[in-house]
Amino acid sequence: MDSLTSAVKIPILVGPTGVGKSEIAGRLAIRHGFEIISADAFQVYQGMEMGTAQPDKELQGKVKHHLVGVRKAQESWNAVQFATSAKKIIAAEKSKKFLIVGGAGFYIRALVEGPPQGTAPSPEVRSMVAEKVLELGPEKAHEWLASRDALAAQRLDVQDTRRVGRALEKTFETASIKAAYEPLGSANVIFLGLERSRENLDKLLLKRTQTMWVQGLLEETKYLLSLHLPQDHPTLAAIGYAEASAFLAEKMTEAEALERIFRRTRQYAKRQWTWFKHQHDVEWLNLDDFPTMDAAVQKLSEKL
Q: What percent of the chain has pLDDT over 90?
A: 62
Q: What structural domains and CATH numbers belong to the chain?
A: 10-116+174-303 (3.40.50.300), 123-169 (1.10.20.140)
Query: Can you give the pLDDT at residue 293?
Result: 95
User: Is 97 a residue whose pLDDT tops 90?
Assistant: yes
35: pLDDT confidence band, cut at 50, 70 and 90? very high
Query: Can you give the pLDDT at residue 175?
Result: 47
146: pLDDT confidence band, cut at 50, 70 and 90? confident
User: Higher confidence at residue 105 or residue 287?
Assistant: 287
User: Is 233 a residue whose pLDDT tops 90?
Assistant: no
**Mean of all residue pLDDT scores within the chain:** 89
User: Is 3 a residue whose pLDDT tops 50?
Assistant: no
Partners of 100 in the beta sheet?
A: 12, 37
* In contact, 172 and 125? CB cutoff 8 Å: yes
Query: Can you give the pLDDT at residue 290?
Result: 97
User: Higher confidence at residue 172 or residue 235?
Assistant: 235
HEC assignment per residue over the chain: CCCCCCCCCEEEEECCCCCCHHHHHHHHHHHHCEEEEECCCCCCECCCCCCCCCCCHHHHHHCCEECCCCECCCCCCCHHHHHHHHHHHHHHCCCCEEEEECCCHHHHHHHHHCCCCCCCCCHHHHHHHHHHHHHHCHHHHHHHHHHHCHHHHHHCCCCCHHHHHHHHHHCCCCCCCCCCCCCCCHHHEEEEEEECCHHHHHHHHHHHHHHHHHHHHHHHHHHHHHCCCCCCCHHHHCCCHHHHHHHHCCCCCHHHHHHHHHHHHHHHHHHHHHHHHHHCCEEEEEHHHCCCHHHHHHHHHHHC
User: Is 10 a residue whose pLDDT tops 70?
Assistant: yes
Cα–Cα distance list, 246 to 144, 238, 241, 242 (Å): 19, 12, 8, 6
Query: Can you give the pLDDT at residue 7?
Result: 55
* In contact, 126 and 133? CB cutoff 8 Å: no
User: Higher confidence at residue 292 or residue 141?
Assistant: 292
User: Higher confidence at residue 141 or residue 61?
Assistant: 61
Query: Can you give the pLDDT at residue 118?
Result: 54
User: Is 177 a residue whose pLDDT tops 90?
Assistant: no
User: Is 299 a residue whose pLDDT tops 70?
Assistant: yes
User: Is 188 a residue whose pLDDT tops 60?
Assistant: yes
**Average pLDDT rounded to a whole number, residues 9-17:** 96
139: pLDDT confidence band, cut at 50, 70 and 90? confident
At residue 28, what is the residue type? L
Cα separation of 84 and 2, whole Å? 15
